[in-house]
Structure 1
Amino acid sequence: MNSNPSSRFSSSCLPARSSAIALVMLFACTLALASPPQGTFARTFQVSGPVNLEVQTRSGDITVRSGPAGTVSVRGKIFVGDHWLFGGDRRSGEVHEIEQNPPLRQQGDSIHIDDVNAHNISVNYEITVPAETALRTHTGSGDQTIEGVHGNADLRSGSGDMRLSRLTGDIRIQTGSGNLRGHEISGPVRGGTGSGDVELEETGSGDVDLHTGSGNITARGLNGTFRGEAGSGDITAEGTQTGSWEIRTGSGNVHVRLPGNSAFEADLSTSSGTLDIDAPITMTVQGRVQESRKSIHGQVRGGGPVLKVHTGSGDIHIE
């Protein structure tokens, strides 16, 4: 038996010391997240036609909004992740360098925003562009907000939410982890998230292809082909079927809403759940309805585009 008082004191203090360190680290991280930017910069570029904008960051939010023609405005907010630990003076030189020489380049009507070459420093960008702008973005970690742009867009994030509104063009979106929200979108859309919900409101025609590994998919105003796939989550699809629709979820319910006069080829199945075609919409199904009510194959109002729906575990409701 160890009778050394200092040994007993040291061992008994270890949990308390660990807890204290954890609290200090948590408090410090909270301060870092809540702290104001350690620096800012602003630049304006003159352009003469449709703009090509490319933004690449390792970490930081990206916001792009439409504004006056002929001008691209970029405002950056600089954040230092470890300024709370080492003090502002230690990193002030790097911040000052970024303020004086931000990673921005112009080549004609093309604007390039590159990574910041500094450890543990991120930049949030607020960018105003002419409405006629083609856009490519990529951030390792950060949210993206894109509003009012009329041009093709390729948007990617390793981790972060994406919020899109009033976009026209061919849209490609992908995030490793985060929610996707698109409202008043006109044009084809393809993309998804590894983990998170996907919500899309279409106001024009265009083919749509959405996926999520874990989360729900909601697509409204569809007018074209549609493909929706979820590893685990519910899927809701509403719109006009001008091409084939294919909907699959490993575990979740599926709700499809079509106009009352829709004609389509039905291929519906669930491994564990029920199938329900709303009676008020007076459908005539030609074909075979299995007694188990686990699948329906046939024509509705003489047939038309294929509507294929499958869920491994969940209900299917067509109205």
Structure 2
Amino acid sequence: MHKVAVVVQDGAEPFGLGSMCELWAEPYHPEDDNPVFDFVVCTPRPGRVRGASGFDLVVDHGLEAAADADLVCIAPKREFDAPSPEAADLARAAHERGAFVLAHCTAAFVLGEAGLLDGRRCTTHWRHSRELALRFPAAIVDEDVLYVQDGRVVTGAGSAAGLDAGLHLIREHFGARTAMTTARRMVVAPHRSGGQAQFIARAVPDCSAETLGPLLEWIVGHLEEDLGVESLARQVHMSPRTFARRFRAETGETPHAWVTRQRVIAAEELLERTDASVERVAAEVGFGTASMLRHHFTRARGVSPQAYRRSFSCTVAEVG
């Protein structure tokens, strides 16, 4: 993945465009040595593009600038009810020639117009998911997730979920370490699972003294320990039932799902940066056995730990 093109249209949402710029338009940073992309913003009719938030954009490039892009991102726009035939044609052509296509929030409707959601899992902002399903009945709309990748089509929910979807692609193409350093530069979470809920039951705990934030930090530093519900509940002096309910309310996930995700992330980094055996990695991140690591890793990433290491290892040696 070398060239990234972002398509904007009248009514462009600034956060949607800005998130794509943060992910793909950054210059070289010697502190992280992350890849630098050939980045371009384009539009169906070059010139002044009306914005959605009190200011407009000036875009010099037409859609032909995206003709050879490895990734085409469709930026959200305010008036998503209006058809986008040029953007839809570009998205369809990009996908047909083997490029990846990413759209989040209302931009998912453009992919629907292009026929790219037919028979595919996809998502959009929860406020618009029902309308997306009604307008494109062949699409498999999941309104409860942050992002979905189905083949070379990636869709994200609203606002910050575009960052999550983009970080997912960076992780897939360049590895967990590159995704982590990209997230650190933007000061955002390095990995929120695509299956995580779009919103949580209670955004702010009833009492700040009861927030689970310190516990989450502790978990990440003690992944090799017993992190079952009963053990974690004891850490915060709650009953297991109360703890499980509070954890779901504050994170959008069950304790088991959250801990498993952290263990997979930790395993990714060890597989990339060390030549430790799969058995050793499994022990260090808390899965216990190589078979358990393989099970959870393959389920989460779609490849085995060994295959992941062959693709992303920073070491010379490869250990099965």
* TM-score clears 0.5: no
Higher relative strand content: 1
Q: Taking structure 1 as the reference length, what is the TM-score of the superposition?
A: 0.24
Q: Taking structure 2 as the reference length, what is the TM-score of the superposition?
A: 0.24
Larger Rg: 1
Higher relative helix content: 2
